[in-house]
């Protein structure tokens, strides 16, 4: 009788892990893997930057170009200030979705300040490569959007949404809803829309209040800022209360 070869353990069985039955394990891996790596890096909290992947610093004639450099400057100011704040780990680490545009700008600003920064990328039909300014050991890749969103927000003490498209709007409104419904405490997270001229054209929040779709108090969930230094001063005051 022919001796059978020893089969692979299920956790080494790629076909099983990629199957429908293995989905729960894939989801768990995208929860537990980042947790272990962030804990190892002693990341206590983050400041999340959202914004368009299409902002290109070499295209001076686009709407988003100036926001690229303002995101880079704000991230620089935040990282430079936060680096010395190290009681038992790293606080207010710059975090992005890991791609180009505004995400790249924020990682770039943190690197210029000499700080580490996080990039949480997503696998897409058209691949989005990690930008080169992410700290290598803090570069993550996700398959599931909802797990990526969880980790983008979970450690964030502040979120700054720069001008962007569907992805930015999706992430901003999900965070607003979590704050509105107290799934995230307003005392624990500061939400900023950056770029008043852009956002007032894109979303008419006053009309939502007048129509009764949201309350005047809901309008206070987030603040609108348009200057890197003023935004930094505002965030610094809010973040110091979190330490």
Q: Give the CATH number for residue 202.
A: 3.40.50.450
DSSP string, 36-75: HHHHHTTB--EEEEE--TT--TT-TTSTTHHHHHHHHHHH
Residue 159 lies in a domain: yes
- 117-140, pLDDT tens digit by residue? 999 999 888 778 899 999 999 999
Residue 15 lies in a domain: no
Question: Taking CA 99 as the corner, what is the angle to CA 96 and CA 104, rounded to the nearest 5 degrees?
Answer: 70
Contact (Cβ atoms closer than 8 angstroms) between residue 34 and residue 125: no
Total number of domains constituting the chain = 1
Residue 38 lies in a domain: no
Selection from 167, 126, 172 nearest residue 145 by Cα: 167
**Which residues span the domain enclosing 179?**
43-240
151: Cβ contacts below 8 Å, ≥ 6 apart = 34, 120, 140, 142
Report residue 234 as tokens: 């505002």
Matching residue, tokens 């892990």: 17
Report residue 104 as tokens: 């790249």
pTM given for the model:
0.93
Q: Is 5 helix (H, G, I), strand (E, B) or coil?
A: coil
- 128-172, pLDDT tens digit by residue? 889 999 999 999 999 999 999 999 999 999 999 999 999 999 999
Residue 22 lies in a domain: no
Contact (Cβ atoms closer than 8 angstroms) between residue 70 and residue 78: no
Indicate whether 74 pLDDT > 70.
Answer: yes
Residue 5 lies in a domain: no
Residue 34 lies in a domain: no
Residue 179 lies in a domain: yes
- 192-238, pLDDT tens digit by residue? 999 999 999 999 999 999 999 999 999 999 999 999 999 999 999 99
Residue 151 lies in a domain: yes
Q: Which residues of 90-120 are buried (b: 16+ CB within 10 A; e: fewer)?
A: bbbbbbbbbbbbbbbbbbbbbbebebbbbbb
Residue 1 has a pLDDT of 67
């Amino acid at each position: 009788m022919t001796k059978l070869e020893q089969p692979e353990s299920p956790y080494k069985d790629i076909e099983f892990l990629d199957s429908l039955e293995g989905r729960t394990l894939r989801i768990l891996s995208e929860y537990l893997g980042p947790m272990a790596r962030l804990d190892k890096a002693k990341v206590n909290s983050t400041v999340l930057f959202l914004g368009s992947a299409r902002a290109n610093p070499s295209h001076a004639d686009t709407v988003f170009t100036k926001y690229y450099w303002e995101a880079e400057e704000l991230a620089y100011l935040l990282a430079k200030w936060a680096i010395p704040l190290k009681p038992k780990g790293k606080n207010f680490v710059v975090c992005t979705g890991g791609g180009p545009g505004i995400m790249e700008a924020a990682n770039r600003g943190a690197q210029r300040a000499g700080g580490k920064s996080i990039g949480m990328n997503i696998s897409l039909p058209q691949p989005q490569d990690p930008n080169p300014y992410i700290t290598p050991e803090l570069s993550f890749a996700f398959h599931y959007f909802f797990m990526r969103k969880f980790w983008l927000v979970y450690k964030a003490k502040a979120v700054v949404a720069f001008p962007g498209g569907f992805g930015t709007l999706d992430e901003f409104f999900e965070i607003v809803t979590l704050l509105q419904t107290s799934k995230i405490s307003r005392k624990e997270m500061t939400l900023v829309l950056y770029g008043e001229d852009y956002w007032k054209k894109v979303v008419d929040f006053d009309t939502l209040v007048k129509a009764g779709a949201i309350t005047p108090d809901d309008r206070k969930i987030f603040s609108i800022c348009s200057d890197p230094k003023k935004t930094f001063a505002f965030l610094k005051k809010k973040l110091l209360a979190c330490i």
